[in-house]
């Protein structure tokens, strides 16, 4: 019997996403106990490794010197941003750990602000960066986004369109920001071809609504770009 945990990691969650889902090809819908066990084990192995990585990041942040070189600070900040994205896809409740990462990011950003001095151009760029990070982190609370942003995402090219069309509307809306207009146009073409093969009324309606959302998002993005 196939059963899933309440807060899975990205691998188990994608196995769950595919399970008996008619948007996926028949062979991708069939989940074995062995496949589920491997996905869960890989998620937990990554969780254990991540705790060690977090401690290393913490030590790097604590050891920052008052006049640390900008390259060192920027490298740490980039690694912290990546770590936060990974943490959003790990199993279990990591809310406290993510709060810790946000505090470490704030520490490094304070160092960057100090290094910027009174440069108004640098201040504007840093403000935009912090606004973009806040928006990105807000999107990462959706499991689909947290899965798609990973370099080792379990969502393959063949699984992408079924995953998007089967997502909850609010999650799909957040995920669409990850794609270029050209990519969205390709997703629409592939999605309409897939829609024609879906016989289940409930899943057909869900996929159709998702395609309408993608089409509207693409149209609005085009108007903003032209404006």
CB atoms under 10 Å from CB of 214, counted, come to: 23
Output b/e per residue, 136-159; b: 16+ Cβ within 10 A. Answer: bbebbebbbbbbbbeeebbbeeeb
Whole-number average pLDDT of the chain: 94
Per residue in 38-97, pLDDT (tens digit) is 999 999 999 999 999 999 999 999 898 888 898 999 999 999 999 999 999 999 999 999
Per residue in 110-141, pLDDT (tens digit) is 989 988 888 899 999 999 999 999 999 999 99
Mean per-residue pLDDT for 4-31?
96
Per residue in 32-48, pLDDT (tens digit) is 999 999 999 999 999 99
Which of 48, 39, 74, 50 shows the shortest CA–CA distance to 60? 74
So what's the pLDDT on residue 15?
97
Band of residue 1 on the pLDDT scale cut at 50, 70, 90: confident
Two tokens, residue 144: 């689909």
Q: Please state, in angstroms and rounded to a whole number, the distance separating the CA atoms of residues 147 and 139.
A: 11
The answer to whether the pTM exceeds 0.95 is: no
Two tokens, residue 168: 């909850």
So what's the pLDDT on residue 115?
85
So what's the pLDDT on residue 223?
76
Mean per-residue pLDDT for 14-41?
96
Q: Please state, in angstroms and rounded to a whole number, the distance separating the CA atoms of residues 121 and 133.
A: 18
Q: Please state, in angstroms and rounded to a whole number, the distance separating the CA atoms of residues 18 and 211.
A: 19
Residue-range domain boundaries for the chain: 42-146, 153-226
Per residue in 157-183, pLDDT (tens digit) is 999 999 999 999 999 999 999 999 999
Per residue in 207-225, pLDDT (tens digit) is 999 999 999 999 998 777 6
Name, in order, each residue with C-beta under 8 angstroms of 205's C-beta and a sequence gap of 6 or more: none
């Amino acid at each position: 019997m196939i059963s899933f945990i309440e807060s899975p990691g990205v691998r188990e969650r994608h196995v769950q996403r595919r399970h008996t889902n008619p948007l996926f090809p028949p062979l991708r819908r069939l989940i074995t106990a062995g496949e589920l066990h491997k996905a869960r084990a890989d998620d937990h192995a990554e969780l254990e490794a991540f705790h060690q990585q977090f401690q290393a990041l913490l030590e790097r942040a604590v050891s920052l010197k008052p006049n640390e070189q900008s390259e060192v600070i920027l490298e740490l900040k980039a690694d912290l941003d990546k770590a936060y994205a990974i943490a959003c896809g790990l199993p279990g409740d990591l809310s406290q750990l993510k709060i810790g990462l946000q505090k470490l990011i704030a520490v490094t950003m304070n160092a960057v602000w100090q290094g910027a001095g009174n440069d108004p151009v640098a201040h504007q760029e840093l403000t935009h960066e912090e606004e973009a990070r806040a928006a990105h982190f807000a999107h990462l609370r959706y499991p689909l986004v947290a899965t798609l942003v990973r370099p080792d995402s379990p969502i393959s090219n063949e699984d992408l369109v079924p995953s998007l069309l089967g997502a909850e509307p609010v999650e799909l809306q957040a995920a669409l920001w990850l794609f270029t207009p050209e990519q969205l146009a390709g997703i629409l073409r592939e999605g309409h071809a897939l829609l024609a093969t879906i016989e289940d009324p409930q899943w057909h309606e869900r996929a159709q609504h998702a395609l309408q959302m993608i089409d509207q998002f693409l149209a609005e993005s085009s108007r903003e770009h032209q404006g």
